[in-house]
């Protein structure tokens, strides 16, 4: 989510928790128009029904890759970065109790023009640079470490394949000692990302934070 760049979403702002140079932030923070309000109501009805808990997300193929960020959200991604419609968010985020907070919808970056979709003001979209996310596993305890990433150019320079990222490349980069210490690895491509609170937010569904959600 932001995700102040939570990681992916973090990736950006941290990457300037999570990437390298800061990615392009939203340029519009105004009130919702009628189309945006309809969009928000639609995803609230749909996503709360299909993915109310983190377990529901995991059963649908979403994989956790972050810790709780400063908005109180934990992110899960499904690796499908071109959201075909409003029923297919690329990410879902949950609180520490596993209850749904919000979603990300993404469009692969094909130009420098922000998307015009679903009646959403283009200025609400974030721009993220491509990077590799991975989750490391302690070989002794099995404990997982989230919020790990490597920017695309670094990964490629080490011999990595962005289409099929391999843990062996992380070994080459000295990010992990052995390939079997990588529990999850995937490419987060260059894209435009829309962050939306599904849980009611008095600051607005497209706001960075929700005052009703406190970090634990």
Distance (Å, whole) CA 216 – CA 205: 21
Model confidence at 176: pLDDT above 60: yes
Six token digits for residue 213? 């959600």
10 Å CB burial of residue 70 (0-12, 13-18, 19+) is: middle
Q: What is the pLDDT of residue 4?
A: 40
Q: What is the pLDDT of residue 91?
A: 98
Residue 138: which of 189, 180, 98 has the closest Cα? 180
Query: Do residues 47 and 103 touch, judged by C-beta distance below 8 A?
Result: yes
Identify the band that residue 25 occupies on the pLDDT scale cut at 50, 70 and 90.
confident
Length of the chain: 216
Q: What is the pLDDT of residue 33?
A: 97
| Tens digit of each residue's pLDDT (9 = 90 or more) over 50-94 | 999 999 999 999 999 999 999 999 999 999 999 999 999 999 999
């Amino acid at each position: 989510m932001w995700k102040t760049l939570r990681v992916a979403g973090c990736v950006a702002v941290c990457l300037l928790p999570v990437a390298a140079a800061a990615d392009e932030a939203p340029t519009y923070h105004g009130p919702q128009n009628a189309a945006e309000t309809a969009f928000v109501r639609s995803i609230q009805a749909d996503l709360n029904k299909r993915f109310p808990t983190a377990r529901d997300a995991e059963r649908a193929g979403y994989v956790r890759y972050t810790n709780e960020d400063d908005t109180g959200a934990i992110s899960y991604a499904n690796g499908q970065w071109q959201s075909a419609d409003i029923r297919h968010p690329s990410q879902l985020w949950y609180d520490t109790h596993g209850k749904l907070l919000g979603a990300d919808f993404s469009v692969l970056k094909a130009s420098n023009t922000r998307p015009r979709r679903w009646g959403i003001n283009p200025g609400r979209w974030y721009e993220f640079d491509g990077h590799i996310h991975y989750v490391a596993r302690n070989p002794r305890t099995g404990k997982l470490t989230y919020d790990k990433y490597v920017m695309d150019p670094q990964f490629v320079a080490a011999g990595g394949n962005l289409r099929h990222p391999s843990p062996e490349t992380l070994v080459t980069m000295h990010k992990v000692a052995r390939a079997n210490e990588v529990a999850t690895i995937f490419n987060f491509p260059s894209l435009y990302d829309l962050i939306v609170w599904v849980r009611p937010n008095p600051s607005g569904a497209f706001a960075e934070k929700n005052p009703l959600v406190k970090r634990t």
